[in-house]
């Protein structure tokens, strides 16, 4: 109820859109500390996204497939361009790169086991490859990042694919960050850093800059691994059309495009929210680039950044992606932002620990503190026990299975026997922004803003 | 003691790398003729062997080396010995940019000058340069040692972690968080051993020690740093 | 991104071999630049009263069948001056006994899709889409003669792959520029120059750098001073190689991330992005080979 004035009449409180409560808090925090805010997770602002697209299911002009009896193939092969051993996945949903250091060793093991159970891949991160992950994950993608923390030829030789990371969606143009409280002895040793010291990764690779030199670097990685393993090139979404073309010219087998909704364990909030473009716009540009070079089917595209459900996966595939990578969704599946954690077979409440962080379940983004109440993004020896690999791997496996089932449900409803047969003509848009960014017509019309009417 | 020779003239570098990656079966030395600036020569070696490259190498010569001893009788392009884990690489001529980038172990010796960003992101290896090094050398160097017998350019050791630098000649400027410190007895002894291993004659006492001031290690609002 | 090459022969007896020495250098840069290639070659100047205008018809409807002789004839009629034309498919060198500006203006008016590549007394310029091998064959680069040249192979980063966006770019007369790298403020530079009467043909970042230098030279700066101002105003990563009627000049930005290597003997000075391109040159084993330092200007004169 609004408060009353001296005459006992209700006042109406008028909030400002530009200087809302959140903005006032931000300014006053800055005034108090002289520090920018650093946090985890991805962009929280509302953005044009896959939610603004809908599928045109079958009816009279198209015929659907039966849900259970008629097969819908999800097998996905990545890296057919040059590698003698391409990556073969059972589903087009992979686990994105997240570092050991950002995540605990228990989590890395959970992810590996879950991925193996459903027949997909996991990806290392800015901390290098752990034995837990290599042993538990049947298909492991090894990242080569600007920091080169822990990067070594033995892990390169035992990886199934290599991902050269130019940037990530949460902070294209920036390098990794891990604050001192998460640099425990093991993390420190793997990253060749002193314990407890803030880690700031470089934003450029140390020994190459630009696509002309990336070409030579990719050749080096191929030579070292005897041309066996696919080489992915990952970019945070900005000038995606140009970047994808250049990645192809530089010799990539697979291009990974991470939109601005992509998560992080620690980045400046202003960076997360203001740099990069939405995944929806990026996918379209990436596909345009591959079509321009006649590389569809020869160089594969993986899309990430805010992929949450089977519907999102279906839309990404319909727009032209070959696969997706999920990061934040996996963490939520593990228990991120859950009220409880499971330890010793029982649920325990985590509410007190959220409160200590000044937050609550459903609102927490404090991965950077290392005090994850549910043991996911922590190196603390007590907290990390709150995520048991048996529990974690089962949850992630269930989540991936669910997402895959949703994907095939939608594909069948559109009459596809193979999820890779979904196409952009199966989609319509709900908003003008989404229509313009994805170049998909507004539902019920043939209109795409900026295009000649009827052309898509 | 068995030697073989590979002539790279008109051939892809896969030829020599394939030989070096397959089991060596008693071959102790591999000679590479006519490298002519080819890239990625002798990358990813994983066995003890001597490699003699007779001419100038392109990018990433000896990249990710383990156990091998490589000599380049000429100059080396960008990233010689990048991410080396062990073994040794010697460049008789000059080295281009990013020499020894992110190297974890082993010894890299450059008898001529090294370009910019020598020892960038160093992770534990020893790098010894008889000539000068370019600007931004030892940028974000985390562990290991860089020895410069000549001069250093601008911003030496910017954002240095725990790597230690020894410079005999002139330093144009130091990078953020790098500072000169007095040479200790341990520095002098260690440096003497390293110079001897590199086959260079310089008096260790004539070198300056550069290390991290460690003031960028933790974010501190009051420290007025650019972070 | 790109590959650059430069070659200057010090001995007159080597001038006939300029092209044949250079072609393998250019082809060595194919991986760095597979989209397009170009070069500017400098040789004996035509006399004071004449000018050479290099033209490209690849973007006209007629393409390689462009009626070059018809063009020369029309210019002779229009200006009452001699006008000779040497042609090679979609490329032509028009030599006129007239100030070039009115002729160029006339060409713009009557043949808007004919692209003017260069103007000068000493310089000829070729550029087209295609691999370096294709472009070299198309214009018979191996038979070019002269004192020095500047060449380039392109991997487009932001602007499109079209012939007019290939390098070299030119400004004024007998001046050209090739670039390896990527400028981060080309649009601001363009918006600063356009009101000063500097006209842009493309949205290419290299053209922004070239026009900036054109402006400074027009304002009376020496090349050295113009480049010094360039260091302050142009942002990003670059190795620039420039040619004037009697010089080759090279500079690198302070970060020097884009590669460059120089080989010098008593007979020649050769420049390339990678040593690979220099390996075949005569007596390379005894050449003085070095990498240019950042932010320094290197100038070689014929």
- Domain positions in chain B: 2-217
CB contact under 8 A, A210 and C34: no
- Residue C225 backbone phi and psi in degrees, to 5: -65, -40
Can C257 be counted among the known catalytic residues? no
The band of B227, judged by pLDDT with boundaries at 50, 70 and 90, is very low
Q: How many CB pairs under 8 A join A and B?
A: 109
Closest residue in chain A to residue B136, using alpha carbons only:
A206
CA-closest candidate to residue B91, choices B106, B105, B77 = B77
Token pair belonging to A198? 């803030």
User: Is there a contact between C31 and A211 if contact means CB atoms under 8 Å apart?
Assistant: no
Write down the catalytic residue from C2, C176, C210, C257: C2
Which residues in chain A are contacts of B60 at CB distance < 8 A?
A: 207, 216-217, 220
Burial string for A136-175 (b: 16+ CB within 10 Å, else e) reads bbbbbbbbbbbbbbbbbbebbbebbbbbbbbbbbbbbebb
Residue C154's φ and ψ, nearest 5 degrees, are -120, 135
| C211 and C154 inside one domain | yes
Which residues, numbered 133 to 172 in chain B, qualify as contacts with chain C under a Cβ-Cβ cut-off of 8 Å? 134-136
pLDDT band at C5 (very low <50, low <70, confident <90, very high): very high
**Nearest chain A Cα distance for residue B99, angstroms:** 8
- Considering the domain architecture, whether residues C249 and C292 belong to the same structural domain is answered as yes
State the pairing for strand pair A121-123/A139-144: parallel
Whether A210 contacts chain C with CB within 8 A: yes
B75 chain-C contacts, CB cut-off 8 A: 275, 289
The answer to whether A401 faces chain C, any CB pair under 8 Å, is no
Final residue in a domain of this structure, among C87, C121, C155: C121
Q: Which residues of A touch B217 (CB under 8 A)?
A: 180, 194, 197-198
Question: Is there a contact between C277 and C28 (Cβ–Cβ < 8 Å)?
Answer: yes
The strand pairing partners of C95, in sequence order, are C52, C84
CB contact under 8 A, C1 and A211: yes
Pairing of strands B27-33, B123-129: unpaired
Task: Quote the pLDDT of residue B186.
Answer: 97
C282 touches chain B (CB under 8 A): no
When scoring C3, C30, C31, C237 by the number of chain A Cβ atoms within 10 A, the one with the most, hence best to mutate, is C31
CA distance B121 to chain A (A): 7
Interval C163-177 mean pLDDT: 90
Number of domains in chain C: 2
Region A272-276 average pLDDT: 96
pLDDT at A70 over 80: no
Subunits with 3+ C-beta pairs closer than 8 A to B: A, C
Contact status of A195 with chain B (Cβ, < 8 Å)? no
> Is CATH 2.160.20.60 the right assignment for the domain spanning B2-217?
yes
CA distances in angstroms from C181 to A116, A365, B226, C102, listed in the order given: 43, 39, 27, 35
Judge contact between B145 and B127, C-beta under 8 A: yes
A212 near B CB under 8 A: no
Query: Domain residues for C142?
Result: 2-45+128-301
Does residue B212 sit at the C interface (CB-CB below 8 Å)? no
Q: What percent of chain C has pLDDT over 70?
A: 99
The mean pLDDT value of chain A amounts to 94
Which residue has 């086959």 as its token pair? Answer: B199
- B10-59 pLDDT per residue, tens: 899 999 999 999 999 999 999 999 999 999 999 999 999 999 999 999 99
> Is C157 a residue whose pLDDT tops 80?
no
Q: Which chains touch C (3 or more CB pairs under 8 A)?
A: A, B
242-281 of C, contacting B, C-beta below 8 A: 254-257, 259, 261, 274-280
Quick: pLDDT tens for A403-415. Answer: 999 999 999 999 9
**Which residues of chain A are within 8 Å of residue C180 when distances are taken between CB atoms?**
212
pLDDT above 60: residue B226: no
The count of other CB atoms within 10 Å of the CB of residue A445 is 12
User: Chain B window 154-193: which residues touch A at a Cβ cutoff of 8 Å?
Assistant: 159, 161-162
pLDDT at A364 over 90: yes
Which segments of chain A belong to CATH 3.20.20.70?
Answer: 50-420
CATH 3.20.20.70, applies to A50-420: yes
Is C274–B58 a contact, with Cβ atoms under 8 angstroms apart?
yes
Helix, strand, coil shares of chain C, percent, nearest 5, are 30, 30, 35
Q: Are C130 and C36 in contact (CB under 8 A)?
A: yes
For chain A, say whether C34 makes contact (Cβ under 8 Å). Answer: yes
Contact state of A153 with B85 under an 8 Å Cβ cutoff = yes
Confidence of residue A456 (pLDDT cuts 50, 70, 90): very low
**What was the pLDDT predicted at A51?**
97
CA–CA dist A250, A244 (Å, integer): 10
Question: Is residue A112's pLDDT more than 90?
Answer: yes
DSSP sequence for B161-201 = -S-EEEE-S-BS-B-TTEEEEPPPHHHHHHHHHHHHHHT--
ipTM for this model: 0.89
From chain A, the residues in CB contact with B159 under 8 A are 200
CA A165 to CA B174: how far, in whole Å?
30
Whether A398 has its CB under 8 Å from any CB of chain C: the answer is no
Residue that is last in its domain, among C91, C121, C151: C121
Instruction: Answer whether A212 sits within 8 Å of C237, measured CB to CB.
Output: no
Mean pLDDT of chain B: 95
> Nearest Cβ partner of B82 from A192, A197, A207?
A207
Residues B200-212, mean pLDDT to the nearest whole number = 97
The C-alpha torsion from A408 through A409 and A412 to A413, rounded to 10°, is -150
- CATH number where C74 lies: 3.30.70.100
Query: With an 8 Å Cβ cutoff, are C276 and B96 in contact?
Result: no
Strands B123-129 and B107-110: parallel
Query: Is residue A330 scored above 80 in pLDDT?
Result: yes
Nearest to A220 among B14, B43, B140 (CB): B43
* Partner A contacted by C33 (CB < 8 A): yes
Distance from CA of C198 to the nearest CA of B (A): 36
Nearest of B33, B42, B31 to residue B67 by alpha carbon: B42
Q: Is residue C225 less than 8 Å (CB to CB) from chain B?
A: no
Please determine, for residue A455, whether its predicted confidence score (pLDDT) is greater than 60. no
Residues of C in contact with A213 (CB under 8 A): 1, 257, 259
Based on the fold, state whether residues C194 and C273 are members of the same structural domain: yes
Q: Is C169 on the interface with A (CB under 8 A)?
A: no
Chain B contact set for C279 (CB, 8 A): 36-37, 56
- For residue C25, give how far its alpha carbon lies from the nearest alpha carbon of chain B (Å): 12
Rounded mean pLDDT of A425-437?
A: 97
Cα distance between residue A176 and residue A164, in whole Å: 14
Q: Same domain for C150 and C245? A: yes
Residue B203 has a CB neighbour count (10 Å cut-off) of 11
Residue contact B40–A219, C-beta within 8 A: yes
| Mean pLDDT for the stretch of residues B61-71 | 98
Here the tokens at position C127 are 């550029």
Residue of C nearest to A244 (CA): C157
Q: Nearest by CB to A206, which of B98, B124, B159?
A: B98
Last residue of one domain, picked from the residues C121, C140, C158: C121
User: Are C34 and A209 within 8 A, CB to CB?
Assistant: no
pLDDT of residue A175: 86
C-alpha to C-alpha distance for C213 and C207, rounded to whole angstroms = 10
What whole-number distance in Å separates Cα of residue A151 and Cα of residue A157? 11
Half-sphere exposure for B21 (CA within 13 Å, toward CB): 21
Q: Which long-range contacts (CB under 8 A, 24 or more apart) does A280-283 make?
A: A280/A47, A280/A48, A280/A49, A280/A50, A280/A52, A280/A53, A280/A434, A280/A437, A280/A438, A281/A48, A281/A237, A281/A240, A281/A437, A281/A438, A282/A237, A282/A240, A282/A257, A283/A257, A283/A259, A283/A316, A283/A319, A283/A320, A283/A321, A283/A438
Residues A25-67: pLDDT tens digits? 999 999 998 888 999 999 999 999 999 999 999 888 888 887 6
pLDDT in tens, C21-56: 999 999 999 988 888 999 999 999 999 999 999 999
- Which residues of A are less than 8 Å from C32 in CB distance? 212, 215
Task: Give contacts of A223 with chain B, Cβ < 8 Å.
Answer: 13-14, 17, 40, 43-44
Residues of A in contact with C237 (CB under 8 A): 209-210
Contact with chain B for residue A57, Cβ under 8 A? no
Q: Are C141 and C152 in contact (CB under 8 A)?
A: no
Q: With 60 as the cut, is the pLDDT of residue B224 above it?
A: no
Contact between residue A396 and residue A114 where contact means Cβ atoms under 8 Å apart: yes
Residue A116 contacts residue A134 (beta carbons within 8 Å): no
- Whether the link from the prior residue into A35 is cis, omega within 30° of 0, is no
Structure confidence by residue, pLDDT tens digits, C101-145: 999 999 999 999 999 999 999 999 999 999 999 999 999 999 999
User: Count of residues for chain C?
Assistant: 302
Q: Do A207 and B79 touch (CB under 8 A)?
A: yes
Same domain, C211 and C282: yes
Residue in the structure block whose two tokens are 């020369």: C72
A246 contact residues in C (CB cutoff 8 A): 155, 157
| pLDDT value of residue C160 | 73
* pLDDT score for B198: 98
Judgement on whether residues C188 and C65 belong to the same structural domain of the protein: no
Closest CA to A372 of A395, A388, A356: A356
Of A134, A90, A110, whose CA–CA distance to A335 is shortest?
A: A110
């Amino acid at each position: 109820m609004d408060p009353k004035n001296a005459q006992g009449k209700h006042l109406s409180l008028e909030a400002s859109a530009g200087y809302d409560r959140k903005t006032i808090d931000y300014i006053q925090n800055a005034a108090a500390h002289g520090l920018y805010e650093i946090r985890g997770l991805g962009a929280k602002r509302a953005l044009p996204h896959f939610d603004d697209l809908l599928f045109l299911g079958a009816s009279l002009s198209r015929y659907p497939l039966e849900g259970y009896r008629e097969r819908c193939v999800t097998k996905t092969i990545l890296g057919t361009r040059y590698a003698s051993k391409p990556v073969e996945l059972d589903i087009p949903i992979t686990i994105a790169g997240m570092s050991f250091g950002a995540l605990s060793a228990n989590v890395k093991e959970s992810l590996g086991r879950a991925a193996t159970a459903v027949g997909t891949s996991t990806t290392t991160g800015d901390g290098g490859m752990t034995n837990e992950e290599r042993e538990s994950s049947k298909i492991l993608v090894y990242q080569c990042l600007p920091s080169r923390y822990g990067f070594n030829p033995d892990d390169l030789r035992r990886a199934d694919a290599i991902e050269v990371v130019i940037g990530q969606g949460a902070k294209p143009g920036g390098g990794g960050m891990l604050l001192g409280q998460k640099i425990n002895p093991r993390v420190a040793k793997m990253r060749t850093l002193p314990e407890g010291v803030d880690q700031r990764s470089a934003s450029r690779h140390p020994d190459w800059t630009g696509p002309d030199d990336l070409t030579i670097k990719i050749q080096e990685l191929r030579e070292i691994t005897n041309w066996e393993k696919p080489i992915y090139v990952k970019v945070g979404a900005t000038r995606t059309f140009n970047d994808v073309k250049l990645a192809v010219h530089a010799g990539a087998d697979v291009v990974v495009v991470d939109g601005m909704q992509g998560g992080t364990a620690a980045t400046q909030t202003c960076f997360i929210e203001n740099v990069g473009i939405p995944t929806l716009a990026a996918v379209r540009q990436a596909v345009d680039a591959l079509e321009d070079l006649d590389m569809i089917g020869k160089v594969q595209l993986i899309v990430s950044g805010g992929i949450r459900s089977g519907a999102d996966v279906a839309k990404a595939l319909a727009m032209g992606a070959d696969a997706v990578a999920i990061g934040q969704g996996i963490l939520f599946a593990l228990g991120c932002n859950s009220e409880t954690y499971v330890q010793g077979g029982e649920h325990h409440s985590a509410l007190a620990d959220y409160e200590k962080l000044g937050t609550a379940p459903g609102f927490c983004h404090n991965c950077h503190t290392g005090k994850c109440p549910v043991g996911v993004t922590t190196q603390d020896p007590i907290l990390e026990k709150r995520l048991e690999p048996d529990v974690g791997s089962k949850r992630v496996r269930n989540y991936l299975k669910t997402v895959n089932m949703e994907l095939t449900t939608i594909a069948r409803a559109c009459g596809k026997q193979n999820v890779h047969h979904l196409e952009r003509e199966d989609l319509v848009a709900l908003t003008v922004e989404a229509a313009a960014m994805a170049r998909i017509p507004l539902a019920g019309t043939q209109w795409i803003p900026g295009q000649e009417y009827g052309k898509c | 003691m068995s030697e073989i020779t590979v002539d790279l003239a008109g051939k892809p570098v896969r030829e020599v790398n394939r030989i070096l990656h397959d089991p060596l079966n008693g071959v102790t030395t591999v000679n590479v003729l006519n490298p002519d600036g080819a890239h990625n020569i002798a990358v990813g070696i994983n066995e003890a062997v001597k490699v003699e490259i007779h001419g100038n190498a392109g990018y990433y010569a000896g990249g990710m080396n383990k156990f091998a001893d490589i000599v380049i009788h000429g100059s080396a392009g960008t990233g010689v010995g990048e991410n080396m884990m062990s073994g040794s690489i010697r460049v008789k001529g000059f080295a281009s940019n990013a020499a020894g980038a992110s190297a974890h172990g082993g010894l890299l010796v450059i008898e001529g000058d090294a370009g910019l960003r020598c020892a960038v992101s160093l992770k534990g290896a020893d790098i010894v340069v008889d000539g000068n090094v370019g600007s931004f050398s030892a940028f974000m160097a985390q562990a290991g040692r860089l020895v410069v017998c000549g001069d250093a350019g601008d911003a030496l050791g910017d954002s240095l972690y725990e790597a230690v630098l020894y410079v005999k000649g002139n330093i144009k400027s130091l990078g953020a968080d790098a500072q000169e410190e007095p040479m200790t007895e341990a520095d002098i002894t260690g440096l003497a051993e390293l110079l001897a291993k590199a086959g260079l004659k310089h008096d260790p006492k004539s070198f300056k020690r550069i290390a991290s001031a460690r003031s960028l290690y933790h974010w501190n609002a009051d420290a007025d740093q650019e972070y | 991104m790109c590959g650059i090459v430069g070659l200057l022969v010090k001995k007159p007896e080597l001038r006939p071999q300029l092209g044949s020495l250079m072609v393998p250098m250019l082809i060595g840069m194919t991986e760095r630049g597979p989209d397009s290639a170009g070069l500017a070659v400098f040789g004996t100047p035509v006399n004071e009263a004449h000018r050479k205008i290099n033209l490209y018809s690849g973007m006209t409807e007629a393409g390689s069948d462009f009626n070059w002789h018809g063009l020369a004839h029309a210019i002779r009629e229009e200006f009452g001056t001699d006008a000779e034309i040497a042609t090679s498919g979609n490329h032509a060198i028009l030599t006129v006994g007239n100030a070039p500006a009115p002729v160029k203006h006339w060409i713009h008016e009557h043949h808007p899709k004919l692209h003017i590549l260069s103007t000068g007394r000493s310089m000829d310029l070729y550029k087209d889409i295609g691999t370096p091998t294709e472009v070299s064959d198309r214009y018979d680069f191996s038979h070019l003669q002269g004192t020095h040249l500047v060449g380039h192979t392109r991997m487009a980063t932001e602007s499109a792959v079209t012939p007019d966006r290939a390098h070299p770019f030119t400004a004024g007369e007998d001046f050209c520029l090739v670039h390896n790298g990527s400028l981060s403020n080309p649009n601001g530079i363009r918006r600063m120059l356009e009101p000063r009467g500097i006209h842009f043909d493309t949205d290419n970042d290299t053209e922004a750098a070239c026009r900036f230098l054109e402006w400074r030279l027009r304002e009376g700066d020496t090349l050295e001073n113009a480049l010094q101002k360039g260091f302050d105003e142009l942002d990003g990563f670059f190795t620039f190689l420039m040619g004037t009627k009697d010089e080759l000049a090279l500079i690198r930005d302070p970060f020097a991330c884009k590669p460059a290597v120089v080989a010098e003997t008593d007979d020649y000075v050769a420049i390339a992005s990678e040593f690979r391109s220099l390996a075949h040159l005569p007596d390379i084993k005894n050449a003085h080979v070095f990498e240019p330092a950042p932010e320094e200007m290197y100038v070689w004169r014929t």
